[in-house]
Amino acid sequence: MSALDLAPEAHCAPGPLLTVDLAAVGANTRLFAARTGAAVMAVVKADGFGHGAVDLARTALANGATSLGVTSIEEALPLRAAGLCVPILSWLNPVDADLAAAVAADVDLAVPGRDHLEAVARAGGPAHIPHIHLHLDTGMARDGAAPSAWPGLCRAARRAEQQGLVRVVGIMGHLGCADDPADPCNATGRTRFAWGLETARAAGLRPGQRHLAATAATLTDPRSHHTVVRIGAGLVGIDPSGTTRLRPALTLTAPLVSVRRVRAGTTVGYSHTWTAPATTHLGLVPLGYADGLPRAASGRAHVLVRGLRRPVVGRISMDQVVVDLGGEVAVGETVTVFGPGDAGEPTVAEWAGWAGTIEHEIVTGIGPRVHRRLRAAPLRSLP
């Protein structure tokens, strides 16, 4: 894609715009590749954390990642269809998902238990031996096999491997508290994973891909790296551990669609939660909670207008918000809702704070009405 051609606003729709800075993604990916001796799996689930799965995948692969990870098979198949020929792992599917489609497309599957193992084995054939990653629950009681079921799962997987029904290429776990490196839960998870690897080895398995760490553990704890690290949030500039400066990749803007002068005492929005204390100008921005502005940020959020932070006033509605502009501003002026922060605009991290949530929820929550545009080509040669 010649994304460099896409820069001028003139080519884009005039409404709300989400700009995705793939150069930032490239820089973040290179940082991770430099921080570890393990291979980097780029996690592009949830439409690439809201950045576009294929664009995120291509950019990460051009900058040091060597494989892709997603949640569901439905997320994996479009990556293959887009011509991405690297290993792709899908780790969370119902046992009756279209496993045969995954195997036919050479998508690796995580296996959290015996039922999945049998279903995956049935989905393959001599021409397409399924590649699987056994998934151990390393302490979240969420996905993955419980430790009590692990030795049996390893033995069954080894038998299936000897029968030519599957190939066990990986073993995975996941840490629940890696955003706080001091939490003892990390040591527990590491220990349980090490036990899981030994148990698999004792069963005769020799998987080359052994992976436990996601973004936070990769940045804070080399003992968790093993042979592959799975990086999602970090690619798009989110560091849950708060230890490393990464580059945010999203900028959300919208034009002011109207401006009105109001008198002191004017009440704004649903339930009249804000009253103008003095004469002012109010600007209308055509973005609301259906577009990803969290309603919980009502009364706290700010946006950047002409280089100044202005408060969002009244409740955030489904489709629109009102900004107290102070002085007069022309209709059509661009309002920056969030961005990397370089020009003083709020960041995704600030929006997350205003809404009492994490950055992940903001970036994955941008709605389908917002047009997307790429900034910079997904090439290694870019800064």
Ligand X SMILES: *Cc1c(COP(=O)(O)O)cnc(C)c1O
Q: What is the binding site for ligand X (CB under 6 A)?
A: 43, 45, 91, 174, 214-216, 230-234, 240
Catalytic residue among 33, 44, 45, 108: 45
Catalytic residue among 270, 271, 309, 328: 270
Q: Which residue is nearest to ligand X (CB)?
A: 232
* Residue placing its CB nearer to ligand X in the complex, 241 or 266: 241
* Residue placing its CB nearer to ligand X in the complex, 99 or 216: 216
270 is catalytic: yes
Least gap, CB of 195 to ligand X (angstroms): 19
C-alpha 374/C-alpha 217 separation (Å) is: 29
* Residue placing its CB nearer to ligand X in the complex, 233 or 366: 233
CB atoms within 10 A of CB 81: 10
Least gap, CB of 221 to ligand X (angstroms): 13
Least gap, CB of 215 to ligand X (angstroms): 3
Q: For every residue of the chain, which 3-state class applies, written as one string?
A: CCHHHHCCHHHCCCCCEEEEEHHHHHHHHHHHHHHCCCEEEEECHHHHHHCCHHHHHHHHHHCCEEEEEECCHHHHHHHHHCCCCCCEEECCCCCCCCHHHHHHCCEEEEECCHHHHHHHHHHCECCECCEEEEEECCCCCCCCECHHHHHHHHHHHHHHHHCCCCEEEEEECCCCCCCCCCCCHHHHHHHHHHHHHHHHHHCCCCCCEEECCCHHHHHHCHHHCCCEEEECHHHHCCCCCCCCCCCCCEEEEEECCEEEEECCCCEECHHHCEECCCCEEEEEECCCHHHCCCHHHCCCCEEEECCEEEEEECCCCCCCEEEEEECCCCCCCEEEEECCCCCCCCCHHHHHHHHCCCHHHHHCCCCCCCEEEEECCCCCCCC
C-alpha 140/C-alpha 138 separation (Å) is: 6
* Residue placing its CB nearer to ligand X in the complex, 65 or 268: 65
Least gap, CB of 330 to ligand X (angstroms): 40
* Residue placing its CB nearer to ligand X in the complex, 17 or 134: 134
* Residue placing its CB nearer to ligand X in the complex, 236 or 355: 236
Least gap, CB of 287 to ligand X (angstroms): 25
Least gap, CB of 172 to ligand X (angstroms): 7
Least gap, CB of 135 to ligand X (angstroms): 8
C-alpha 260/C-alpha 279 separation (Å) is: 11
* Residue placing its CB nearer to ligand X in the complex, 32 or 351: 32
Give Cα 319 to chain centroid, integer Å: 24
Active site residues per annotation: 45, 270
